[in-house]
Amino acid sequence: MAYLFRALVVYLVLLVFLFISSSTTTTAAGARELRINVKVTKSFVYEVCSQTRNINFCVDVLRSDPRTETSDLFGLGSIANNLAIINATDTQNYITDLFNNATLDQKDHFHMCSLDYQFIISDFKQAADKMRHSDYKETNTLAIDAINRASDCENVFLSPPVIQSPLTQRNKNLGDLADILAAVSKRLS
Ligand SMILES: *[C@@H]1O[C@H](CO)[C@@H](O)[C@H](O)[C@H]1NC(C)=O
Ligand SMILES: *[C@@H]1O[C@H](CO)[C@@H](O)[C@H](O)[C@H]1NC(C)=O
């Protein structure tokens, strides 16, 4: 009787031990898998960003977007394009304010920038459509056009009447965003 009882206890202890060890093994494997995925995504973002003109900006922008964690290359391009549309639209509105506040002789500058940003927004909207149709070559052309137009807007302030550009940071920002799209679409094409 005592022997049977002891055998039962040993059996139960063994069972509990097996259960615990098997469940910790599963958890450990799950955690490792999760960590590997995160690691891959992070180095992937860095690898993509290393082909852009502003690596730190690119890494910051993409890593601070929650969608990045589950994105592939196409997804990163869509995120950049999406942020670029939002940013360019915001700047377009800001330019309208600047235009309304400007002296008569400076209004031309803001009018030119407003036109540039109209094209920029149109470029990004077309780029979204081209991405959907896997036309990455055309996406790349549109992204580069946006970069050039942001720099056109910046250069407007170098013609008379020469004033300090109030759009330097925004133009640079927009160009950096468009450059992410350019780098991604180049890789995809
Ligand atoms: C969008 O533009 C604003 C205003 O210039 C800027 O502060 C912000 O960082 C930009 N966002 C991105 C993602 O580039
Ligand atoms: C335009 O002028 C108004 C009134 O002075 C001011 O509140 C606003 O901040 C100005 N906007 C810009 C973009 O300078």
CA of 97 to the centre of ligand 2 (A): 7
In the prediction, which pLDDT does 27 show? 41
Q: Measured from the CB, is residue 49 less than 6 Å from ligand 1?
A: no
Tokens for 11?
A: 């059996």
Span 47-104, pLDDT tens digits: 999 999 999 999 999 999 999 988 899 999 999 999 999 999 999 999 999 999 999 9
Average pLDDT over residues 138-166: 97
Q: Measured from the CB, is residue 81 less than 6 Å from ligand 1?
A: no
CA of 94 to the centre of ligand 2 (A): 10
Q: Measured from the CB, is residue 98 less than 6 Å from ligand 2?
A: yes
Q: Measured from the CB, is residue 101 less than 6 Å from ligand 2?
A: yes
What angle do the packed helices 168-188 and 107-132 form, to 10 degrees? 20
**Mind listing the domains of the chain with CATH numbers?**
44-188 (1.20.140.40)
> Is pLDDT at 16 greater than 50 in this prediction?
no
Using alpha carbons, list the distances in angstroms from residue 60 to 46, 52, 55, 117.
Answer: 10, 13, 9, 24
Q: How far apart are the C-alpha atoms of 172 and 91, rounded to whole Å?
A: 12
Q: For residue 94, give the ligand 2 atom closest to its CA.
A: 13
What DSSP assignment string belongs to 99-145? HHHS-GGGHHHHHHHHHHHHHHHHHHHHHHHHHHTT-HHHHHHHHHH
In the prediction, which pLDDT does 4 show? 54
CA of 99 to the centre of ligand 2 (A): 10
Q: How far apart are the C-alpha atoms of 131 and 68, rounded to whole Å?
A: 17
CA of 152 to the centre of ligand 2 (A): 24
Q: Measured from the CB, is residue 84 less than 6 Å from ligand 1?
A: no
> Is pLDDT at 32 greater than 60 in this prediction?
no
Span 93-151, pLDDT tens digits: 999 999 999 999 999 999 999 999 999 999 999 999 999 999 999 999 999 999 999 99
Q: Of all protein residues, whose CA lies closest to atom 3 belonging to ligand 2?
A: 101
Q: Measured from the CB, is residue 93 less than 6 Å from ligand 2?
A: no
> Is pLDDT at 17 greater than 50 in this prediction?
no
Nearest 5°: CA angle at 121, between 118 and 127?
135
